[in-house]
Chain A
Amino acid sequence: MRTFLSRHHADPTANTIAQALGWFSIGLGALEILAPRKMARTFGMPRSRGVLAGYGVREIASGVGLLWAKDRRPWIWSRVGGDALDVATLAAGMGPSNPRRGTTGLAMAMVLGVAALDIFCAARLSAAPGRAAPVRDYSARSGWPRGAAAARGSARDFATPRDMRAPPGLRHLNGGEQPG
Chain B
Amino acid sequence: MRALCYHGKQDIRCDTVPDPRIEDPRDAIIKVTSCAICGSDLHLYDGFMPGMENGDIMGHEFMGEVMEVGRDNTRLKVGDRVVVPFTIICGECEQCRRGNYSVCERSNRNASVAAKVFGHATAGLFGYTHLTGGYPGGQAEYVRVPYADASAVKVPSTLTDEQVLFLGDIFPTGWQAAVACDIEPSDTVAIWGCGPVGQFAIRAAIMLGAKQVVAIDNVPERLVMAKAAGATVIDFDQESVVERLNELTGGKGPEKCIDAVGLESHATRSVDALYDRAKQAVMMETDRPHVLREIMYVCRPAGTISVPGVYGGLVDKIPFGAFMNKGLTMRTGQTHVNRWTDDLLRRIEEGQIDPSFVITHRASLEEGPALYKTFRDKQDGCVKVVLRP
Interface residues of B in 184-235 (CB under 8 A from A): 184-187, 199, 203-204, 206-209, 218, 220-225, 227-230, 233-235
B281 sits at the interface (CB 8 A): yes
- A97 on interface, CB distance cutoff 8 Å: no
Chain B residues whose CB sits within 8 angstroms of the CB of A153 once the complex forms: 185, 206-209
Query: Is the CB–CB distance between A166 and B329 below 8 Å?
Result: yes
Which of A68, A138, A145 contacts B225, CB < 8 Å? A138
Most buried by B among A2, A23, A173: A173
Interface size on A (CB < 8 Å)?
50
CB <8 Å contact, B379 and A12: yes
Q: Is the CB of B184 within 8 A of A138?
A: no
Judge whether B160 is part of the interface by a CB distance below 8 angstroms.
no
A135-B221, A165-B182, A170-B303 known; A154-B352 Cβ under 8 A: yes
CA A171 to CA B184, docked complex, whole Å: 8
- Identify the stretch in A110-118, A119-127, A155-163 within 8 Å (CB) of chain B at 4 or more residues: A155-163
B89-120 contact mask (Cβ, 8 Å, vs A): 1 or 0: 00000000001000000000000000000000
A125 to chain B, nearest CB (A): 14
Chain A contact residues: over half helix, strand or loop, or mixed?
loop
Shortest Cβ distance from B207 into A: residue = A155
A residues near B (Cβ < 8 Å) are 1-8, 12, 23, 64, 67-70, 133, 135-146, 148, 150-156, 158, 160-161, 164-167, 169-171, 173-176
Max chain B CB contacts within 10 Å: which of A133, A146, A160?
A160
Complex Cα gap A11–B209 (Å): 39
B160 CB to nearest A CB, Å: 13
Chain A residue numbers with a CB within 8 Å of B208 are 153, 155-156, 158
Chain B residues packing against A (C-beta within 8 Å): 99, 179-182, 184-187, 199, 203-204, 206-209, 218, 220-225, 227-230, 233-235, 237-239, 244, 255, 268-270, 274, 277, 281, 300, 302-304, 327, 329, 331, 339, 343, 347, 351-355, 357-358, 360, 377, 379-381, 383
Closest B residue, CB atoms, query A9: B237
Known contacts A2-B239, A68-B274, A70-B237; is-contact A161 B99 (Cβ 8 Å): yes
Return chain B residues, CB-CB under 8 Å to A3: 238
Q: Which one of A5, A23, A139, A145 contacts B351 once the chains associate, using CB atoms below 8 Å?
A: A145
Residues of B within 8 A of A174 (CB): 184, 186-187, 255
Report the minimal beta-carbon distance from B339 to chain A, rounded to whole angstroms.
8
Which of these, A133, A137, A164, A167, contacts B180 with CB under 8 Å? A164
In the complex, chain B residues whose CB is within 8 Å of the CB of A156: 208-209
A149 nearest in chain B by CB position: B230
C-alpha gap A162/B23 in the complex (Å): 38
Verify A160–B237 contact, CB threshold 8 A.
Answer: no
| Minimum-distance CB pairs A-B, first 7 | A136-B381, A143-B357, A166-B182, A155-B207, A153-B209, A4-B235, A138-B225
